[in-house]
Amino acid sequence: MIGALVRNETRKTLKRLATWVTLGFFTFVLVMSFGGEYFDARREPDETFALPSAWSEILGEQSFVGLVFGSVLLVLLISSEFSWRTARQNVIDGLTKEQWFVGKTLLLPALAILFVGVQVVIGGGFALAGTDLSATSEPLMGGLQWKAIGGLLLAWMALGSMGVAAAMATRSPGPAMAVWFSYVALGENLLRAGLSQLGEWIEPALRFLPFALARTLTVYQRWQLPAEGPIEEMASRVAVVDTGTLVLANLAWIAFFLLVSFLWFRRRDL
Amino acid sequence: MTTESVIETYDLAKHFRKIRAVDGISFRVEPGQIFGFLGPNGSGKTTTIGMLLGIITPTAGSFSLFGGRSEHASEIHAARQRIGATLESPNFYPYLSGRDNLRIVANVKGKTEKDIDHVLAVVGLSRRQKTRFKAFSLGMKQRLALAATILGDPELVILDEPANGLDPEGMREIRHIIAELSELGKTIFLSSHLLGEVERTCTHVAIIKEGKIVRQASVKEITSETTIAGLRGGESPETLKHFMEVYPGAVSARVEEDTVIVELADADLSTLNRFVADRGVYLSHLALRQRTLEDVFMEATGGGEGGMGEIAEIA
């Protein structure tokens, strides 16, 4: 059945105009951004946009834009299944609710790989074009970059799982996007401000709010720790410094949002 | 030894807060039947079908499909693989073509491109298979829904208002397809408000009103119980109606314009004629017709008086 789910989700995603519009716009933003860096470096002798140093920009905090684009697409792909009543028809056609949910969950890693892949290829491509290969002794890509890519994928999955929950709760594209955007743009900050009124004792827990944790994964420099950066300085910029804790906490939030989504989906009539 | 039912419900109920959408219904559908499930809008038809198909969770009661009990998830899931169904309006991906939409269904049901070709031909959509669903007319959408329903070669076909939006030719084709499916030994569960279509198509019916089954029998049985007669004569229809109310062979009598409509337990018109003549009334008009499903439906649901429709005048 997994094969059938993969084929169906692939067909539905690739044939949808929204997929190509989102991906096209994301590509345009990347080309403008990294292309600008590349041409600036060619014009200004002091500027460089070459591998491997350019990875800090390619895989850095600006990759958050990709997370937003991708999550919007994910929310749209899932919530419209309810407004079109195709989720109901899929179950009538023979899928169990569990199988339907698994099909949607497969979109999370698939879209994460697609969006992060586009980012790496376009950013890496421009940086490679600006690299004097004969003058570079360092490897163009190594363990550090793979860790950062892994972090990006995990951040993507974390924000995406929040999108899945918003889509399952509202079952409508507009409200689902509104809920997701509201939380990411404002909701968590308000929540943090509200909870911090409870006292200092809660401050350590507030570092583990889902959006802050996911965003920490996009800070490229944190993957250089402890070898290349002072931990104290990093601690002021990110929610959680320890990699193991950070990864586990993000995985826990992903599991939580997917579990809640599934329970909502299973409990309610279609 | 009794045969295994295809569908059987046991006090099945669904409540939406204080509303009893389905209020403890029990019915049984046997293999090979074309079972009409009738009821006014909001009577609980779609909710009942939704429970059978697993998209609505019952509040109380249970049901079985092909002997698999609803309490056992694996049994009921296996049984549902033997069902093809469409509920309410056709639900497909608007941006996908007719064929791509069927590919989605075929993947779930483990069917091939050849099977898709076959069902497209059956419903007459082969030439429009590449058109996007959102560009389909309502009639084409209904045909596509029917194609998706029969794609898995199901043993039980559940159709909810399949003739909605179809022109008379389309309705005739749907009737033809249903008859063909029945000849192939499929069991058909048909929900429709087109009573004439149901009467022509179905072998058995159940009528649901306000969440309760109010009538269940074979179409033959239900329509041959009584005969309807239209009478005119005497000074006023009210006087004639009064006589008919005391006529031993009359089940009911009512006035429709200048005609008295009488439901008769048998078609013995000479006795009826003599009965009114003995009371000084001579009939100027006596027409007789078979009781229709519409008459039964109207009586059962209290949906108003049935018209005389296609009365065949015999006197």
pLDDT at A215: 85
For chains A and B, CB pairs below 8 A equal: 68
- The Cα–Cα gap between B108 and B156 comes to 17
Q: Helix, strand, or coil here: B168?
A: helix
Average the pLDDT over A77-102 and give the result. 94
For chain A, give the percent of residues with pLDDT over 70: 94
- The Cα–Cα gap between B77 and B257 comes to 55
> If you measure CA to CA, which chain A residue comes closest to B132?
A15
Residue B90 reports pLDDT greater than 70: yes
Sign of CA dihedral A175, A176, A181, A183: positive
Contact (CB, 8 A) for B4 and B43: no
> pLDDT digit string (tens) for A204-240?
888 889 998 888 888 887 777 654 455 555 555 665 6
**C-alpha distances out from residue A187 to A184, A193, A231, B27, Å:** 6, 10, 29, 51
Q: Do A11 and B103 touch (CB under 8 A)?
A: yes
Residues of A with CB under 8 A from a CB of B: 4, 7-8, 11-12, 15-17, 84-86, 88-97, 269-270
> If you measure CA to CA, which chain A residue comes closest to B49?
A92
Q: Do B86 and A85 touch (CB under 8 A)?
A: no
Residue A265 Cα, gap to closest chain B Cα (Å): 11
> pLDDT digit string (tens) for B238-284?
888 888 889 988 888 888 888 888 888 777 788 888 888 888 888 88
Stretch among A88-92, B71-75, B210-214 having the lowest mean pLDDT: B71-75
Q: Residue B304: which residues within 8 A CB-CB, separation 6 or more?
A: B298
pLDDT band at B200 (very low <50, low <70, confident <90, very high): confident
* b/e per residue B81-115 (b: at least 16 CB within 10 A): ebbbbbbbebbbbebbbbbbbbbbbbbbbebeeeb
Full-model pTM:
0.83
> pLDDT digit string (tens) for A171-206?
999 999 999 999 988 999 899 999 989 888 888 888
- Helix H, strand E, coil C: the string for chain A is CHHHHHHHHHHHHHCCHHHHHHHHHHHHHHHHHHHHHHHHHHHCCCCCCCCCCCHHHHCCHHHHHHHHHHHHHHHHHHHHHHHCCHHHHHHHCCCCHHHHHHHHHHHHHHHHHHHHHHHHHHHHHHHHHCCCHHHCCCCCCCHHHHHHHHHHHHHHHHHHHHHHHHHHHHCCHHHHHHHHHHHHHHHHHHHHHHHHCCCHHHHHHHCCCHHHHHHHCCCHHHHHCCCCCCHHHHHCCCCCCCHHHHHHHHHHHHHHHHHHHHHHHHHCCC
